[in-house]
Amino acid sequence: MRFIKILVGCTSVLLSSSLVAGSHYASGKITSLLASATDPAIRLTGNISPDNCDAGVYGWIAFSGSAEERNIVYSSALALSLSGKKVTIYTNNDGKRCRITNIQVTSGLN
């Protein structure tokens, strides 16, 4: 039983170090993609989202910009998801629905 507690504790530390969220950003791997023609969105590991915007119960974070801009950033997110790269997304911080303004690769390029 003690071994299981230690294993769970170590796993929690490792997972928590790879998930980061702040007032207008969150970091992790992209785990889900919503390929909506009008409002594509992503979810990050653990459904984390920035603190000062609303990602809803399931952690969906949509893209901002025109339809063309949203599709371009969605394509980048799809590629990053398939390659397993860790990303940091930057969003609005006005308490409204989370909208990605920037997505940045933060690990695995070297």
Q: What is the pLDDT of residues 31-65, one digit of tens each?
A: 999 988 889 999 999 999 999 999 999 999 999 99
- pLDDT at residue 13, rounded to an integer: 38
d(CA 60, CA 63): 10
Report, as an integer, the average pLDDT of 22-29. Answer: 90
For 2, 6, 106, the CA distances from 43, given in Å and listed in that order, are 34, 29, 16
- pLDDT at residue 37, rounded to an integer: 82
What ranges in the chain are assigned the alpha helix state H? 2-18, 67-83
Q: What is the pLDDT of residues 76-99, one digit of tens each?
A: 999 999 999 999 999 999 999 999
What domains can you pick out in the chain, each with its CATH number?
A: 19-105 (2.40.50.50)
- pLDDT at residue 1, rounded to an integer: 53
- pLDDT at residue 107, rounded to an integer: 80
Q: Is the pTM of this model over 0.85?
A: no
